[in-house]
Amino acid sequence: MTTWKVLEGKTAIITGAGGGIGRPTALALARAGAQVVVSDIDSGSAEESAALIKAADGRAIAVAADISEESDWAVLIAEAVKAFGSLDILVNNAAATSPKDRDLLSMEVDVWDYTFSINARGTMLGCKHAIPKLLERGKGSIVNIASGSALTGQLGVPAYSAAKAATISLTRSVATLHGKQGIRCNAIAPGLIMHPRLAAHFPKEQIQIDAENLLTPESGAPEDVAHAVVFLASDQARFINGHVLPVDGGILAHTPFYAQVRALGQSSVTYVSEE
């Protein structure tokens, strides 16, 4: 694997690494020199990701885990240390949504609780079980994958948005509680990142609306998030702690009516003389 080895000699765990954003991120961690513990609730997809890393001369193992279960986290951490001797990086990437997560008036408590069990509790459990091992090394980096939906109101997915907002708050808490002990904890808030799992059921009209509101010529790809993860995990980001990095093509950096005004070919500000 050829790349700048900014993670040489480090051991990284990444959850949800069987596909979506997770697999390209696992590959990017390996290219940067890390020994990667590839975890997914689907053991087969985790094995496939690990095999891709090994085929490119990287080091990886696959461990199936349900991140909402504390006992699975204990096994996952133990397997990482058994295989590679230590732990330096945790990437909490695994996430879940429900087609029933539409609005509050129809919200089922089971849907709300399930969404939080994966996106919020799972992330908390990862931090809880990884931090003691990071402390043994004297430093470490945790990168939590949040969502742009945690930073804005949405016409849907209220449970997912709230759970990802909880992830951002947890990120800041971990950084505050353990920063002086050498632990950095940051979050990434991706915008719409298309990958096969998402593209299979995402409306084309909504993809077009998103593209019209980006401040970049291209739409987002999983590799864009992967590069950000590698940076935040590395010592190059040693002075960054407790922050949220949007990887969203600038979609949250402008006024809500950006696309409409741009279509008109006008400035969004009208200057009126005070004379």
Q: Which pLDDT belongs to residue 2?
A: 43
Q: In whole angstroms, give the CA distance from residue 211 to residue 194.
A: 11
Q: Which pLDDT belongs to residue 199?
A: 73
Q: For residues 21 and 145, is the Cβ–Cβ distance under 8 A?
A: yes
Active site residues: 160
Q: Distances in Å between the alpha carbon of 26 and those of 14, 16, 54, 190, 224?
A: 7, 10, 11, 17, 13
Q: Which pLDDT belongs to residue 269?
A: 55
Q: Which pLDDT belongs to residue 165?
A: 98
What are the tokens at 14?
């990444």
Q: Which residues of the chain have pLDDT under 70?
A: 1-3, 266-275
CATH 1.10.357.140 fits 11-264, yes or no: no
Q: In whole angstroms, give the CA distance from residue 244 to residue 151.
A: 10
In terms of DSSP bridges, do strands 60-64 and 140-145 run parallel, antiparallel, or are they unpaired? unpaired
Q: Which pLDDT belongs to residue 270?
A: 53
Q: Which pLDDT belongs to residue 203?
A: 85
Q: Which pLDDT belongs to residue 4?
A: 76
Q: For residues 113 and 166, is the Cβ–Cβ distance under 8 A?
A: no
Q: In whole angstroms, give the CA distance from residue 243 to residue 144.
A: 10
